[in-house]
Chains A and B, each alone.
Chain A
Amino acid sequence: MADSVLHLMRTLNRGVAYLIGIMLLACAAFVLADIVLRQFGVSFGGTDEISGYVMAIATAWGMGFALLELSHVRIDLLRQRANPLGRSLFDIFAMIVMTAVVLIIAYQCWPVLERSITNSSTANTPLETPLVWVQGPWFAGWVWFAIVSTLTTLSALTLILQGRFAESEQAIGAFGEAEML
């Protein structure tokens, strides 16, 4: 059960990461086109604004992928001195705290979107982007991070209770500094 949940999470997040990558590449191409066009006195306008939205959405949705790739930096000075049981206790504690904080973040992000929905807010820019269009996907990204974080914690907890420390370490451990790349 725990294994299949983790496997599914990895597959889904890899797909999400590819989509973010495509979005970032498209954004780079768009910015580049604008720089070139400006030399000829024309401009799409609003590249800054759009880059900002892309960044906010890419960041929110990339968090879950980074989590499963064990990329969120942890200082494992004490952790690495512990035995396998101790290490998995460090890991599960860190994950529970992380999940709690991410749930708070996702919960606190909702009012931002809610306000934009009720006021039909538009950005204070020439594009007058309806904020719902960009804050919707952004909020969904943080909710996704909260879901990934919760399910990963529960799966790892199951593994630890079954005494499968090596597998739980694979799911939520910390990389040695050398493998960070």
Chain B
Amino acid sequence: MITYTAVGLLGLLALSIPVGIVLFLLGIGIDQFFSSFPLLRGLGSLVWSSSNSATLIAIPFFVLLGEILVRSGVAARTYAALDKWVSWLPGGLIHANVATATMFSAISGSSVATAATVATVAMPQAEKLGYDPKLFSGAIAAGGTLGIMIPPSINLIVYGFLTQTSIPQLFLAGLIPGLGLALAFVVITAIICALRPSLGGERRTFPLSAMMRALVQLVPILLLFAAIVGSIYKGWATPTEAAAVGVAGAFIIAFFFGRVDLAMVGQATLGTVKITSMIMLIVIGASFLNFTLASAGLGRELQDFLNGLGLSAVSTMLVIVLIYIVLGFFIETLSLMVVTIPIMVPLVIQLGYDPIWFGILMIVLVEMALITPPVGLNLYVVQAARTSGNLSEVMLGVIPYAFVLLLMAGALLVFPQIALFLPALLN
């Protein structure tokens, strides 16, 4: 059954059938070939119960929040302000790319939206100031991946929903790895640019007074972050409700900058419906596949499979990490997570690992998938914002950052506390 699912999955995906539909097909196949009960009769109730979810309404809310902020003009101001604070480092403005991406990750639940936002405001600067395009655009693509790690995160909400793990705990678990990655991106940029100054650009220092004045520009984002995350951990709002708080905050910011009008709201709305439906087809398909796999006895088969392999828990984890890296070259982020959750998470739990920890590890691996060609959405998003040069420059530029992500995956394997420390503190 595991072989059937894995081979069927890859084969049907290669035929370019929509990912969500592939998941339904596999579920229907399992019902036909592996189950003695008619599982298909459960399909209707499953479609109802998996979409009738107050948890998942956080997805359209967070998408809407991003759609509004992108159109609010707050990104350009944030970028200019962070430039004043970080451009003294070797690598100059490249650090502003990482810093802006980190701040946007803290209010956006999506990596692609984060990369797109930063790329739009940063790319024109690179061309104006004569930066080497490779590392500069690589930093945006990589920095953008933090969007799904630093809370709030749409991917973590989906993971929590499908694996029945606590979303606030997942959010907490993502905080230290996310900030750690941001710091590591800054450090590796500084090291590379100190060794090869031609890759960076001019280092600039600004007078203290200008730096202080710039801080004001960071206030909107920081307030919004405080409102979203604060309301969750103060117990005022569930993660879902906090998303509604975020939408209101984004509207206030956009209104403050005079960007709210009917056309803008209309565009943001259409984008939200489109992205939400796309995500939900995959999520509902995965719920159905989950259900059929579990009903047809995946648990026992996994146990046999593991015993048959005869590998230690650690070696099995290494194999799993390798599988994600390889699949990540070809499958887009959320699809990669959702199609693998039904098989991988039960397996990892059987091995005795913590599902919260695995969620964070999976996010790191999926972040790599976002920047590894040929299917790496963030590469294309950054390239789309450029006016010259080709995609291979962006691909070269992300290599050091992909390396950092690999290191973080290793660090999580050796020190699970990186992810589990904060959630444990909360309990």
Where the two chains meet, the residues of A that have a C-beta atom closer than 8 Å to any C-beta of B are 14, 17-18, 20-22, 24-25, 27-29, 31-32, 34-35, 38-39, 47-49, 51-56, 58-60, 62-63, 65-66, 69, 71-79, 90-91, 93-94, 97-98, 101-102, 104-105, 108-112, 134-135, 138, 142, 174, 176-181
The answer, yes or no, to whether B33 is at the interface (CB within 8 Å) is: no
Asked if A109 and B244 sit within 8 Å, CB to CB, the answer is no
Count chain A CB atoms within 10 A of each CB in B25, B244, B282, B331 and give the residue with the most. B244
Asked if B273 and A75 sit within 8 Å, CB to CB, the answer is no
Q: Known: A62-B273, A97-B17, A177-B380. Contact between A77 and B374, CB under 8 A?
A: yes
Apart from A47-B241, A177-B375, 10 more pairs, CB < 8 Å = A32-B247, A35-B231, A48-B238, A56-B53, A58-B60, A78-B14, A110-B44, A138-B48, A177-B377, A180-B377
Count chain A CB atoms within 10 A of each CB in B13, B231, B238, B241 and give the residue with the most. B241
Asked if B44 and A98 sit within 8 Å, CB to CB, the answer is no
Count chain A CB atoms within 10 A of each CB in B54, B272, B331 and give the residue with the most. B54
Asked if A54 and B43 sit within 8 Å, CB to CB, the answer is no
Contact of A104 among B43, B116, B247, B284 (CB under 8 A): B43
Residues in A neighbouring B25, C-beta threshold 8 A: 97, 101
B376 — nearest CB in chain A belongs to which residue?
A177
The answer, yes or no, to whether B316 is at the interface (CB within 8 Å) is: no
Residues in B neighbouring A38, C-beta threshold 8 A: 236
Asked if B273 and A35 sit within 8 Å, CB to CB, the answer is no
Q: Known: A35-B245, A101-B21, A109-B48. Contact between A77 and B14, CB under 8 A?
A: yes
- Identify 13 residue pairs between A and B in the complex whose beta-carbon atoms are under 8 Å apart, listed by A's number: A24-B64, A48-B54, A66-B273, A72-B20, A75-B330, A97-B25, A102-B21, A108-B47, A109-B44, A109-B47, A110-B44, A135-B48, A178-B384
Where the two chains meet, the residues of B that have a C-beta atom closer than 8 Å to any C-beta of A are 13-21, 24-25, 28, 40-41, 43-45, 47-48, 51-54, 56-57, 60-61, 64, 112, 116, 231, 236-238, 240-241, 243-245, 247-248, 266, 269-270, 272-278, 280-282, 284, 330-332, 334-335, 374-375, 377, 380-381, 383-384
Residues in B neighbouring A22, C-beta threshold 8 A: 269
Contact of B381 among A63, A75, A94, A178 (CB under 8 A): A178
Q: How far is the CA of A135 from the CA of B47 in the complex (A)?
A: 11
A82 — nearest CB in chain B belongs to which residue?
B16
Residues in B neighbouring A111, C-beta threshold 8 A: 41, 44
Closest 3 CB pairs of A and B: A21-B269, A62-B277, A66-B277
Asked if A18 and B266 sit within 8 Å, CB to CB, the answer is yes
Q: How far is the CA of A31 from the CA of B56 in the complex (A)?
A: 14
CB distance from B33 to the nearest CB of A (A): 16
Residues in B neighbouring A77, C-beta threshold 8 A: 14, 330, 374-375
Asked if B375 and A75 sit within 8 Å, CB to CB, the answer is yes
Asked if A105 and B24 sit within 8 Å, CB to CB, the answer is yes
A21 — nearest CB in chain B belongs to which residue?
B269
A72 — nearest CB in chain B belongs to which residue?
B18
Residues in A neighbouring B335, C-beta threshold 8 A: 73, 75
Q: How far is the CA of A77 from the CA of B43 in the complex (A)?
A: 30
CB distance from A162 to the nearest CB of B (A): 22
Count chain A CB atoms within 10 A of each CB in B18, B241, B272 and give the residue with the most. B18
B333 — nearest CB in chain A belongs to which residue?
A73
CB distance from A139 to the nearest CB of B (A): 9
Contact of B244 among A32, A74, A98, A112 (CB under 8 A): A32
Asked if B269 and A73 sit within 8 Å, CB to CB, the answer is no
Residues in A neighbouring B277, C-beta threshold 8 A: 59, 62-63, 65-66, 71-72
